[in-house]
């Protein structure tokens, strides 16, 4: 079989666009090309949390959902949540209040779950660095809220974070 060059054009004769081509991007926000890349951004954001918030992350399962469910809490607040820290009910208790796909096939365990909503975060980040900043802030604010820290501005002013 003779050597075949790699296709550089689609079936219509147009050049294939790269991931960073502006014509492929949505008009609003920056979308991570793959779910794995978004997962890496979330993991890096959690790893870079300020020391005051790291205790709130231990034992927390991190789940990424595309969009938040529309429930009474969302309607009452009038804002789309970017992340939620949910308490998981004990084994044997019906699991209400968890997003439909968040539980997956894993067996229920006791503990907490941080649900990060991908599309609302991507909509708010205009570039890759903006998306990273939005993810870090959303996760940090949610952890701080669960720990009862009210003055979170001091945590985010740290130059290392």
Whole-angstrom Cα distance, residue 8 to residue 25?
20
- Pick the closest to residue 54 from 131, 157, 153, 139 (CA basis): 139
Q: What does each of the 161 residues of the chain score in pLDDT, given as a tens digit?
A: 566 566 666 777 777 666 666 665 555 667 777 888 899 999 999 998 888 888 878 888 899 999 988 888 777 877 888 999 888 655 554 444 444 444 444 444 457 899 999 999 998 888 888 999 999 999 999 998 888 887 776 666 655 55
| Predicted local confidence at residue 40, as pLDDT | 92
Our measurement of the distance from residue 119's CA atom to the centroid of its chain's CA atoms, rounded to an integer in Å, reads 8
- Pick the closest to residue 126 from 19, 26, 28 (CA basis): 28
Q: Coil, helix or strand for 20?
A: coil
Domains of the chain: 25-89+108-156 (3.30.2010.20)
Residue partners of 88: CB distance under 8 A and separation at least 6: 61, 95, 98, 108, 109, 110, 111, 112, 113
| Predicted local confidence at residue 74, as pLDDT | 75
Q: What is the value of pTM for the model shown?
A: 0.67
């Amino acid at each position: 079989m003779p050597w075949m060059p790699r296709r550089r054009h689609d079936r219509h004769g147009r050049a294939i666009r790269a991931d960073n081509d502006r014509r492929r991007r949505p008009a609003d926000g920056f979308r991570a090309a793959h779910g794995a890349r978004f997962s890496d951004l979330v993991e890096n954001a959690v790893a870079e949390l300020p020391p005051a918030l790291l205790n709130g992350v231990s034992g927390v399962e991190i789940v990424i959902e595309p969009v938040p469910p529309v429930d009474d809490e969302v309607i009452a607040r009038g804002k789309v949540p970017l992340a939620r820290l949910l308490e998981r009910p004990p084994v044997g208790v019906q699991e209400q209040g968890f997003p439909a796909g968040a539980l997956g096939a894993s067996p229920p365990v006791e503990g907490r779950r941080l649900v990060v909503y991908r599309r609302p975060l991507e909509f708010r980040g205009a570039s890759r660095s903006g998306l990273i900043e939005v993810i870090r802030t959303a996760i940090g604010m949610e952890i701080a809220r669960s720990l009862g820290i009210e003055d979170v501005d001091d945590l985010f002013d740290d130059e290392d974070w």
